[in-house]
Chains A and B, each alone.
Chain A
Amino acid sequence: MNINLTMIGQAISFALFVWFCMKFVWPPLTQVMRDRQKQIANGLEKAALAEKQLEAANSSAATELEEAKQQAAELITQARNRANQIVEEAKQQASDEADRIKAGAQAEIDQEINRAREQLRARVGELAIEGAEKILETSVDRGAHQQMLDKLAAQL
């Protein structure tokens, strides 16, 4: 075993081989590693983004639902108020109508009473005189008793 120039020859080829690897072998390998890292990073980023979007969508859905509920409640209150109002108005109208009809009927009744009274009044004198004639069997002077008869009729 002797150390000689063979060592240097091997050192030369080893140095050249290392240079070759640095130049042509290592870059593509590291490129593959970097690509893989980038791919994973992209994937994770996308996943995080999707999660964030989902969260945003969930919260916006919740607010919208809340708003819709509020609107619905408002609408219901409005409708109830309107219904009450309508019922009140209808009641008012009905009672007005009833009053009006009642008043009309009352007026008619009064009129009828008055007419009956007038007729009675017109006929009471005659009936009294007829009755008196029959009692006295005599004719009574209409003119002379007119005043008394009128007084009688007015008392009715």
Chain B
Amino acid sequence: MASGGEQTTSEYIRHHLQNLVYGQHSDGSWGFAGSAEEAEQMGFWAIHVDTMFWSISLGMVFLWTFIAGAKRATSGVPGGLQNFCEMAVEFVDDTVRGVFGNRQNDLIAPLSLTIVIWVFLMNLMDLVPVDFVPQAFHAMGVPYWKIVPTTDPNVTLGMSVSVFFLVLFYNFRIKGPIGFGKRMVTHPIPHWSMYPFNFVLETVDMLAKPLSHGLRLFGNLYAAEVIFILIAAMLPFYLQWTLSLPWAIFHILVIPLQSFIFMVLTIVYLAQAHETDEHH
């Protein structure tokens, strides 16, 4: 709704749920989509600029914070930043040890730390009032600007599919192609007549994992964002706090919980990929 004039509630809501898309217009030129219809016409070969900006910026925040904490690390009593970083690392390390056991893998703990902090920061953007940043960008002439990357399924599915590829990689590496194939046909019913059935079941199970993994995070945060927007759109301004404040307080719980769940599922899937037949 680039021009002024009266804005209906549904327009307001739709506007707030629209990403800033860069892609090829139907006339062949490249540029930002000015409306939801234009964005849809761009198809697959388009990019959500706001999502990329916020996810990369928040990733940088995570990296700089922890680099600064690591550089200033002492073996003495930790200061504020080092203390915080140590607590985060310890927490992730404990969780990984609890789920993944003592198997040798140098990737999984750093991966889990990155996931939990990054997703947490991206979720945290949910608490910023829904109008603040989009209004500011609108004033600068940017038509759409979403600030919560995890309400964009591209982000959550991008992460969960990356984890899925890691799961496939470790399945092949730990079990070997034959072991992995054997596992795909012999579970859950280890009888030769059931092998095709098992294979279908295991394949569905395999493919459902990244989907549920990514959509769970997306769904939770998207719903949260929609409700914030609804509150902002439907209630008179002097009553908004009666609903948005409890909802925000509730999200003090939801935001860390969803990032934690995303991390734990990553660890669980990778642990399953590391399981060999002796464990069954």
Contacts and interface: CB of A to CB of B under 8 A. Distances in A.
B240 A40 contact: no
Contact of A17 (B84, B138, B239, B245): B245
Interface in B186-233: 232-233
A21 B252 CA distance: 9
A106 interface: no
B108 interface: no
Interface in A12-52: 12-14, 16-17, 20-21, 25, 32-33, 36-37, 40-41, 44
Nearest to B128: A14
Nearest to B87: A36
A156 interface: no
B140 interface: no
Contacts of B131: 6-7, 10
Nearest to A15: B241
Interface string B1-45: 110111100000001000000000000000000000000000000
Nearest to A41: B77
B101 interface: no
Nearest to A10: B129
B135 A7 contact: yes
Interface residues of B, number: 37
A17 B232 contact: no
A9 interface: yes
Contacts of A1: 1-2, 4, 7, 15, 135, 138
A5 B237 contact: yes
B87 to A, nearest CB: 6
A12 B241 contact: yes
Nearest to A30: B80
B57 interface: no
A7 to B, nearest CB: 5
A5 B84 CA distance: 39
Given A1-B7, A25-B252, A33-B80, A11 B138 contact: no
A10 B77 CA distance: 41
Given A6-B232, A7-B131, A33-B84, A17 B249 contact: yes
A2 interface: yes
B87 A33 contact: yes
Contacts of A14: 128-129, 132
A9 B15 contact: no
A135 interface: no
A8 interface: yes
B248 interface: yes
With a 10 A CB-CB cut-off, give which of B130, B232, B233 has the most chain A CB atoms.
Answer: B232
Given A1-B2, A33-B84, A13 B77 contact: no
A11 B80 contact: no
Interface of B: 1-2, 4-7, 15, 76-78, 80, 83-84, 86-87, 127-132, 135, 138, 232-233, 235-241, 244-245, 248-249, 252
5 contacts: A6-B232, A6-B237, A10-B129, A10-B232, A13-B244
